[in-house]
Structure 1
Amino acid sequence: MNATIRNFGYPATLVREWDHWTALLRPAQPTLGSLILAARSEARAFADLSSEAFAELPQVVGVVEKALQKLISYEKINYLMLMMVDPHVHLHVIPRYDGIRSAPGGPAIVDTGWPKVPALSDATTLSDTQVRAMTAWMKPAFEG
């Protein structure tokens, strides 16, 4: 695992792995169900990903969107590729909605940026107990 994946709490935050991608619960939740979709390689630029990683990405995005729709009932979804602190290729996956959403064992979270850009600075930081509960709640939706 690259350092970026570890920095986002792997393995405690692991939701699902593919050959070239890893989905992690984002420990700071600007909206409920926010994830990190991280390339498993050492690539530090999007253009440096392997052709196999690019080929797998549509399948991965399909699973992510279907699972988050089932869990969160989002209205829009944002993919942010920031890479300002953590250097390896990764996207912040932010489900967007008007109002509030909650999960078993997790806090109720308002999308304070709706309907504009996500308010990343308003993120709710999950406790270790909440990370475990939310990860366990999310994993089954990503399996099927």
Structure 2
Amino acid sequence: MNDTMRKFGYPGSLVREYQHWVALVRPAQVTLGSLVVAAKGHATAFGQLEPGAYAELANVTADVEGALASLTSYARINYLMLMMVDPHVHFHIFPRYEGERELGGESFPDLGWPGPPDLSSGRTVPMVADRIRNQLIEGWVSHT
């Protein structure tokens, strides 16, 4: 485990764990189903990952996309690898859609559509984050 995983709520936010990666519900939901996929090691540059991490990433992204399609019926999906504040290798994943999606009585508009995601619009709704996590776990189909 690394500090970046911990910052994004691991293990409480864990949706799925792989040999080299974890899929976590992002605490601040920019769009419904916002996730973080984080490398489990201590690499601080994408090029520092072990070779097996790259191969496994194909399965991780296929799993993520399938699960988020079921949850949100997204039109597009954005992967952002920023690593400016949290240094360990990780991606922010934002399902993108026109309009809004609802879950648990909360509405999640995609305020950046059709442009880049509006990262400032992220909000933390713990009960909804738990519901997102549970629904993703129940519907997760692994490609490994």
SS at match of 1:108: strand
Residue 132 of structure 1 deviates from its aligned partner by 2.1
Residues 90-132 of structure 1, C-alpha deviation per residue, up to 9 Å, x if partnerless?
Answer: 00000000011122x36210000000000000112123x3322
**How do 1:45-60 and structure 2 match up within 5 A?**
45-60=45-60
Match of 2:101 in 1: 101
Report sequence identity in percent: 51
**How do 1:1-144 and structure 2 match up within 5 A?**
1-103=1-103, 105=104, 107-127=106-126, 129-143=127-141
How far apart, CA to CA, are the structure 2 residues paired with 1:143 and 1:12?
20
How far apart, CA to CA, are the structure 2 residues paired with 1:15 and 1:106?
22
The answer on whether the counterparts of 2:98 and 2:110 sit within 8 Å (CA) in structure 1 is yes
Structure 1: tracts of 5 or more residues without a match? none
SS at match of 2:38: strand
RMSD: 1.2
SS at match of 2:83: coil
TM-score (norm 1): 0.94
Residue 26 of structure 1 deviates from its aligned partner by 0.4
Count matched residues: 142
Residue 143 of structure 1 deviates from its aligned partner by 4.1
TM-score (norm 2): 0.94
Counterpart code for 1:126: V
How far apart, CA to CA, are the structure 1 residues paired with 2:114 and 2:129?
26
Structure 2: tracts of 5 or more residues without a match? none
Residue 86 of structure 1 deviates from its aligned partner by 0.7
